A = this chain, B = another copy of it.
Amino acid sequence: MTPTRTVLEERVASAAPAEAKPLARRRLLASCADQPGIVAAVSRLLHDAGANIIQSDQYSSDPFGGTFFLRMEFAGTDHVVEGLAERFGAVAERFGMTWRFGNPAVPKRVAILVSKQDHCLQDLLYRWRRNELEAEVVLVASNHADHREAVEAQGLPFHHIPVANPAEKPEAERQLLELLDGTCDLVVLARYMQILSGDFLRLVGVPVINIHHSFLPAFAGAGPYARARERGVKLIGATAHYVTEDLDEGPIIEQDVNRVSHCHDVGALTRLGADVERTVLARAVGWHCEDRVLRHGNTTVVF
Contact = CB atoms under 8 A, between A and B. Distances in A.
Interface of A: 1-8, 10-12, 15-17, 36-37, 39-41, 43-44, 46-48, 52-60, 62-66, 75, 119, 122, 126, 130, 132, 153, 215-219, 229-235, 237, 251-265, 267-268, 271-272, 275, 279, 296, 298-302
Contacts of A232: 251-252, 296, 298-300
B2 A275 contact: yes
Given A54-B63, A153-B153, 8 more contacts: A3-B261, A4-B264, A16-B64, A37-B47, A40-B44, A63-B75, A215-B215, A217-B233
Contacts of A58: 55-56
B52 A63 contact: yes
A252 B262 CA distance: 11
B60 A262 contact: no
The interface residues of chain A, by DSSP majority, are classed as mixed
Contacts of A264: 4, 7
A263 B4 contact: yes
26 contacts: A1-B1, A1-B259, A3-B261, A5-B263, A7-B264, A11-B265, A12-B63, A12-B64, A36-B52, A37-B47, A39-B53, A40-B53, A41-B47, A52-B63, A56-B58, A215-B215, A217-B231, A229-B299, A231-B298, A233-B255, A234-B252, A234-B256, A235-B237, A235-B257, A261-B302, A262-B302
A8 B55 contact: no
A130 B66 CA distance: 28
A252 B231 CA distance: 8
Contact of A4 (B37, B60, B260): B260
A49 to B, nearest CB: 10
A258 B11 contact: no
